[in-house]
């Protein structure tokens, strides 16, 4: 089995993935939402300190799960890029120590590749060892077919297009195979998830903002209030690129103009108006992508892919263009070590290891992992 570690941002997580059938056998994650909530965003120093404390705590639990017998662990996979430098380093230090102690190889994993592989995590444990908020989750749309989509393919029509929406990234990717991933579109400024966080911060809704803004948008819909109308970003721009900073500022100015304190109606109308504009922007650009994309398959991944409104609207768009839509189980949308372990298995099977002395974090770098495409 592979032991995997994720600490690229504000989730401390460890997992065990069996090599032979790529199944997840143990997963544990502690989020830091509460600790960062009062600041309306992640404070890197606090995140780093919490990882330093919690990673060893959850390693202890993992050891108990294995009855202290770590001999079945064949390699350690750890997120080394991209992410926050002070938090990535905590995971990498633990990974190196484990590799040294157990005399096993190290696998450095790209976090974004992890999000893509969240589409094909399958669990092999009855009791859910992962502490997460998936109680009301709809059934996963995961099929074994997804797995073959991520393997090498001959036919252009079998291509998988992926919308990656997280706190750090907003990208449309085209997956050719494990080593050939092209960036078709990305954000010029803020990411989709980050814009939800900033709107929530202006409204004092806490961190992370995505689930809060979505909740208030739902209140607006249920009460049949009229959502605010915000301009849709890059409306007349035909390029495949995203931008959220203008929309974020429009929301900030609208909040400034409302008499304080804000009522529930004000807050929910703002959230619904913002979510409508942000999702409409994503959908319009995806529509543009579909006009040129031959592939039959499309997926949404990343923390913000948990947004039900985005999922529903994207599902309509995929129906219109006759694309089959894949979604990760809600439990694995936000950062977790299960997805890192799943990528780790792929590297392991290809004998792709990094010598301990060469392993480094690369907070920003995507070099060598994804290529920018000029096809569209």
Provide the binding-site residues for ligand KG4, judged by CB under 6 A. Answer: 9, 166-168, 193-194, 196-197, 208-211, 214, 302-304, 306-307, 334-335
Distance (Å, whole) CA 68 – CA 62: 8
By CB under 5 A, what part of segment 124-183 binds Zn ion? 166
Buried b (16+ CB within 10 A) or exposed e, 215-225: ebbbbbeeeee
Angstrom distances, CA of residue 262 to CA of 40, 272, 278:
18, 15, 22
- 11 near Zn ion, judged by CB under 5 A: no
**Is residue 6 involved in binding Zn ion (CB under 5 A)?**
no
- Per-residue binding letters, 276-315, with Zn ion (x by CB under 5 A): ----------------------------------------
Select from ligand KG4, Zn ion, none the partner in contact with residue 211, using the beta carbon and a kind-dependent cut-off of 5 to 8 Å. ligand KG4
Place of tokens 């202006």: 202
Nearer to ligand KG4 (CB atom), residue 90 or residue 194: 194
Q: Provide the minimum distance between the beta carbon of 166 and Zn ion in the complex, in angstroms, as a whole number.
A: 4
Kindly state whether residue 87 participates in binding Zn ion, applying the rule CB under 5 A: no
Q: Which of residues 325-354 bind Zn ion (CB under 5 A)?
A: 335
- For 194, the enclosing helix (H) or strand (E) is helix 192-202
Please check if 43 is assigned to a binding site: no
- Please state the closest distance from residue 110 (CB atom) to ligand KG4, in A: 12
Sheet of 106-110, strand order = 106-110, 75-81, 2-6, 11-17, 23-31, 122-123
The listed partner (Zn ion, ligand KG4, none) that binds 193, CB under 5 to 8 Å by sort, is ligand KG4
CB of 238 to Zn ion, least distance (A): 29
In degrees and rounded to multiples of 5, residue 166 shows phi and psi of -135, -165
Rounded Cα–Cα distance for residues 129 and 374 (Å): 43
Please check if 166 is assigned to a binding site: yes
Among candidates 183, 184, 188, which has minimal Cα distance to 369?
Answer: 183
Residue 329 among known ligand-binding residues: no
Closest approach of Zn ion to the CB of residue 35, in Å = 18
169 is in an annotated binding site: no
Rg (CA), the chain: 20
Q: Which is nearer to ligand KG4, 267 or 334 (CB)?
A: 334
According to the binding rule CB under 5 A, does residue 7 interact with Zn ion? no
For ligand KG4, the closer of residues 194 and 346 by Cβ is 194
At 24, phi and psi to the nearest 5? -80, 125
Question: Which residue carries 């703002």 as its tokens?
Answer: 270
| Residue 307 marked in a binding site | yes
Cβ proximity of 86 and 364 under 8 Å = no
Q: Where do contacts with Zn ion occur on this chain (CB under 5 A)?
A: 166, 335
**Residues in binding site for Fe cation:** 111, 115, 335
**Residues in binding site for substrate:** 164-168, 197, 210, 214, 307
């Amino acid at each position: 089995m592979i032991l995997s570690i994720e600490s690229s941002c504000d989730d401390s997580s460890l997992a065990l993935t069996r090599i032979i059938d790529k199944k997840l056998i143990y997963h544990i994650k502690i989020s830091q939402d509460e600790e960062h909530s009062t600041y309306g965003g992640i404070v890197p120093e606090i995140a780093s300190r919490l990882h330093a404390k919690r990673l060893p705590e959850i390693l202890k639990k993992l050891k108990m799960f294995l009855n202290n017998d770590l001999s079945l662990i064949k390699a350690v996979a750890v997120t080394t890029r991209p992410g926050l430098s002070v938090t990535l380093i905590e995971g990498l230090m633990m990974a190196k120590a484990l590799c040294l102690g157990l005399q096993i190889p190290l696998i450095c994993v790209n976090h974004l590749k992890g999000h893509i592989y969240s589409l094909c995590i399958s669990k092999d444990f009855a009791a859910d060892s992962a502490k997460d908020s998936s109680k009301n989750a709809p059934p996963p749309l995961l099929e074994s077919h997804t797995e073959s989509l991520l393997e090498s393919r001959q036919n252009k029509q079998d291509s998988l297009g992926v919308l990656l929406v997280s706190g750090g990234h907003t990208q449309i990717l085209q997956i050719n195979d494990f080593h050939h991933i092209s960036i078709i579109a990305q954000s010029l400024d803020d990411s989709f998830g980050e814009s939800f966080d900033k709107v929530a911060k202006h409204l004092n809704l806490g961190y992370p903002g995505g689930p809060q803004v979505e909740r208030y948008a739902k209140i607006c819909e249920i009460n049949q209030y009229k959502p605010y109308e915000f301009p849709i970003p890059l409306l007349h721009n035909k390029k495949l690129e995203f931008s959220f900073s203008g929309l974020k500022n429009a929301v900030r100015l609208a909040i400034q103009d409302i008499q304080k304190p804000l009522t529930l109606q004000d807050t929910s109308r703002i959230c619904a108006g913002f979510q409508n504009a942000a999702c409409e922007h994503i959908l319009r650009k995806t529509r543009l992508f579909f006009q040129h994309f031959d592939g039959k398959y499309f997926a949404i991944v990343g923390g913000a892919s948990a947004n039900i409104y985005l999922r529903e609207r994207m599902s309509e768009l995929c129906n219109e263009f006759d694309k089959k839509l894949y979604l990760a189980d809600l439990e694995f949308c936000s950062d977790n070590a299960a997805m890192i372990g799943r990528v780790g298995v792929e590297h392991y099977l290809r004998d792709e290891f990094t010598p301990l002395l060469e392993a480094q974090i690369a907070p920003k770098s995507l070099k060598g992992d994804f290529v920018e495409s000029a096809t569209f």
